[in-house]
Amino acid sequence: KVKGISKEAIFKEMKTWYNGYAFTENPEAQKVYNPFSVLYYMQKQQLENYWFESGTPTFLIELLKSHYPSPEGLENIVVSRKSLFAFDIEAKLPVFTLLFQMGYLTIKSYDPKLKAYVLGCPNEEVKFSLTTCLMAIATNADDDHV
């Protein structure tokens, strides 16, 4: 136990906030935790949003400003394999491809008939971070004031 919390409760909390990254057509087979956030959690022994601890990437802010998806628009995004795994420095990649490649979105499911992936936020930490960022952009406020 840590601070009177059972091991099971700690694992459940960590799973909700820091787990959920999937990279295959069978996303339920294996999910990956965010090691950065898990290490902070273990060090501080406190559930917090550590996503932007290493700094908010300016690139992300500019990307979201120019494309401004709503927080609701970050779930159930259907994309093709070609679009999802595209990597071309010269080409202008779709915003959701970049968000997936940067770890802000993950594979939630795969439709073999359509050969399409459904993307969404991997966990509560990322969802909270993106929502805060989008609210700051929408209101021209600093992230700390949202």
What is this structure's pTM?
0.84
- Residue 70 is predicted with a pLDDT of 75
Domain boundary assignment for the chain:
7-145
- Mean pLDDT per 10-residue section of the chain, whose length is 146 residues: 78 93 91 92 88 73 76 87 80 83 92 94 92 84 57
Q: Cα dist. 52→37, 39, 139 in Å? A: 10, 14, 19
CB 98 within 8 A of CB 61: no
109 φ/ψ angles, rounded to the nearest 5 degrees: -160, 170
* C-alpha 101, offset from chain centre: 10
- Residue 31 is predicted with a pLDDT of 93
